[in-house]
Amino acid sequence: MNLIALPAFSDNYVWMLHDGTRAVVVDPGDAAPVIEALDARRLALAAILVTHHHADHVGGVDALRTRLQGPVYGPRRERIPAPYVALDDGDTVEVLGLRFEVIDVPGHTAGHIAYFHQGVEPAPILFCGDTLFSAGCGRLFEGTPAQMHTSLSRLAALPGDTRVCCAHEYTLSNLKFAAAVEPGNAARDDYIAWCESTRARGEPTLPSSVARERAVNPFLRVDEPAVVQSALAHGAADRTPTAVFATLRQWKNDFR
Ligand SMILES: [Zn+2]
Ligand SMILES: [Zn+2]
């Protein structure tokens, strides 16, 4: 099974999983890069997975229907281009013979879902849309800090080798913020060096892994003493994970 990040717009990725014959794509905000990739590899489009309703994730869905030989899947609690198969937390979806579990991850949007495949060949896969980014997380457009903290905690509890397929290339700018929050994190400094050389070659920094995100992502490290101290210095009401998370998210919104 091949996993590819198709660049779209200025910083989106449309993830494509294919077996050499059939493909599934995730969050096709634009149809053009998907059609190009299908044609270049002579692949049939077997299914589309959608994580949330934003235009940069669903804008290409209708244009791909003429190529589509299977369903569009998406969150029940959001307005997704119809027809689509509506999914709830705990549902499973079978694509290309792989079982994906649906995980409710509200916060960025109210009905955002993620798709997790537990298979170990070569590692599990997570399609998490705009919930978890490498070294960061999505903005809270429709949810509360408590909801987003719970959502990220569910994703952080997945196996460490899970391949984390985020929908945007925000890694380097997220890492600047991470360095401000937690200056003494050596693993994060190594990761910055790796991401800078990877981007200099024009390659995606993704997929990341759950283990790496636990080590470098301040939004998954709200129990770390250094992160708590930074949050308290930036106005956190107390040391609870939700208060620390809420302060980090607000601080990041204004961070340049
Ligand atoms: Zn979004
Ligand atoms: Zn997005």
Q: Catalytic pick from 18, 30, 52, 149? A: 52
Residue 124 in contact with residue 116, Cβ under 8 Å?
yes
| CB within 8 Å of 101: residues ≥ 6 apart | 90, 91, 92, 115, 116, 117, 118
Under 8 Å between Cβ of 54 and 31: no
Concerning whether 57 is annotated as a catalytic residue, the answer is yes
Give dist(CA 88, CA 113) in Å, integer.
8
Tell whether the model's pLDDT for residue 184 goes beyond 80.
Answer: yes
**Residue 242, amino acid:** T
| pTM value surpassing 0.95 | yes
Pairing relationship of beta strands 22-26 and 12-18 according to DSSP bridges: antiparallel
| pLDDT range class, residue 34, cuts 50, 70, 90 | very high
56 a catalytic residue: yes
Neighbours of ion ligand 1 (CB under 5 A): 54, 130
* Burial class, 245, CB count within 10 angstroms (exposed 0-12 / middle 13-18 / buried 19+): buried
Ligand nearest to the CA of 139: 1
pLDDT score for 193: 98
Give the Å distance between the CA of 167 and the centre of ligand 2.
6
132 CA to middle of ligand 2, Å?
11
| Side-chain-side CA neighbours of residue 118 (13 Å) | 7
Rg of the chain over CA atoms, in angstroms?
Answer: 18
What is the per-residue pLDDT for 223?
97
Dig out the tokens for 94 from the structure.
């079978």
- Is residue 112 annotated as part of the catalytic site, yes or no? no
Above 80 in pLDDT, residue 120? no
Res 121 pLDDT > 90: no
- Over residues 134-158, the mean pLDDT reads 98
Distance from first CA to last CA of the chain, Å, rounded? 39
The answer to whether 54 is a known catalytic residue is: yes
d(CA 178, ligand 1 centre) in Å: 21
Q: Which residues pair with 139 in a beta bridge?
A: none
Whether the predicted pLDDT of 64 surpasses 90: yes
**From ligand 1's centre to the CA of 136, what distance in Å?**
14
pLDDT in tens, 204-242: 999 999 999 999 999 999 999 999 999 999 999 999 999
| CA 108 – ligand 1 centroid, Å | 7
Which bound ligand lies closest to the C-alpha atom of 53?
A: 1
Which residues have CB under 8 Å from 247's CB, separation 6+?
Answer: 231, 234, 235, 236
Q: Which of 27, 30, 53, 54 is catalytic?
A: 54
Which amino acid type is present at position 226? A
Tokens describing residue 131: 């919930």
Closest ligand to 52 CA? 1
**Active-site residue, from 27, 30, 130, 149:** 130
Whether 18 is catalytic is: no
Query: How far away, in angstroms, is 107 Cα from ligand 1 center?
Result: 10
Out of 18, 53, 112, 168, the active site residue is: 168
What spacing in Å lies between the alpha carbon of 139 and ligand 2's midpoint?
A: 10
Residue range 72-106, pLDDT digits in tens: 999 999 999 999 999 999 999 999 999 999 999 99
pLDDT at 256 over 90: no
What's the 162 CA to ligand 1 centre distance in angstroms?
22
